[in-house]
Structure 1
């Protein structure tokens, strides 16, 4: 099991980071909440990781906080929730927000996440209620001011010359319909905003904080 990787960030996108470590380049799948915490390319970073092996693929998932990684490991134990969906959940809600949703029994916030229907949301609430206790020490239940300690700060500058288009593409990759992505970005777009800022604000409006 690869549980942690430390190296130089070579490339980054909302869904993946390329990290060079000891001469090897590791393609690490990441949720958007981790993307927002990545440093500039060329800088060192640390990611807490989970290695997934399947018959047809091997994937390395990375997270800026150990809490997000540990929550990911609990999510993939839920019936019907695979690594891709778990990463999608952590793209829309960070670990603290998700835990507060579970504590508040807020199925409506979960249903707004791509790939999460009513039945899946109810299953998450039922199964995760008992499991979040395993995260004791990383999160204070019921505390609205709990924070996650990350290994890097800031997401850097814009990813390209067309931030709105890149932000829309990122939301579509997450599972939102093209018209939903376009509408969400147009609502928050202002001159000079980076794609990271657009994605963050769009997700915040599409998935209200619990």
Structure 2
């Protein structure tokens, strides 16, 4: 599984970039915010990645921060939120804005994203409100906008998601299992405890 790429930015276009890693050009789809953060052609860049594999396709998604990738995985758990919609939401909102909108049930803010209608925005808020309020470290900021203690040095939630993904679980399956484990164990849960419980829940 490709988890991260570091290379030279070859080019960017609407919705994607090509990153040259040792002479191999990787086409990486990304949110507008990630593409803006990459810099100029020729710069050395690093992106955290998510590899999507289907029967007739392989797509590599890139994120400027691991927390953005964690939010992508969380968003795609919601029915009706595919890759395109999740990237549109991450393009329209900063992570702390997204966290605040979900925690407050502000579906109008979610609906600012292209392709997100009022009904889908409401569903996203309803399904993710509690998770967003209890897992602030995913967004990298607490309610005040400062770096949360969970985000410093890496998020156990995000690391647990990565662990399940590397074991072959689909992003939606991994996120659902880890979210359930985190809710049961609480904010002080260790990575090992999260992974163990998430695996049990995923196996049910």
TM-score normalised by the chain length of structure 1: 0.65
1:84 has 2:56 as partner: no
User: Contact (CA 8 Å) 1:103, 1:142: kept in 2 or not?
Assistant: no
SS in 2 for 1:136: helix
Structure 2 portions without partners, runs of 5+: 153-204
Equivalent residue number for residue 34 of structure 1: 34
Q: Quick one: distance in 2 between partners of 1:128 and 1:97?
A: 14
Equivalent residue number for residue 137 of structure 2: 136
Aligned-residue Cα RMSD (Å) equals 2.2
User: Contact (CA 8 Å) 1:14, 1:30: kept in 2 or not?
Assistant: no
Distance 1:137 1:98, change over 3 A: closer
TM-score normalised by the chain length of structure 2: 0.66
Select the structure with the greater relative contact order (CA < 8 A; seq sep ≥ 6): 1
Deviation, 1:143, is 1.5
Equivalent residue number for residue 110 of structure 1: 110
Equivalent residue number for residue 70 of structure 1: 70
Paired residues, what number? 149
User: Contact (CA 8 Å) 1:3, 1:50: kept in 2 or not?
Assistant: yes
Structure 1 portions without partners, runs of 5+: 150-210
1:10 has 2:10 as partner: yes
Q: Which runs of 4+ in 1 moved over 6 A?
A: none
Structure with greater proportional helix content = 2
Q: Quick one: distance in 1 between partners of 2:91 and 2:24?
A: 27
Q: Quick one: distance in 2 between partners of 1:103 and 1:141?
A: 11
User: Contact (CA 8 Å) 2:9, 2:41: kept in 1 or not?
Assistant: yes
Give a deviation string over 1:46-82, Cα, whole Å, max 9, x none: 0011111122321111011111111001111111111
Q: Quick one: distance in 2 between partners of 1:121 and 1:72?
A: 15
Give a deviation string over 1:23-54, Cα, whole Å, max 9, x none: 21100001101111112111110001111112
Q: Quick one: distance in 1 between partners of 2:70 and 2:30?
A: 14
Equivalent residue number for residue 155 of structure 2: none
Q: Quick one: distance in 2 between partners of 1:130 and 1:106?
A: 13
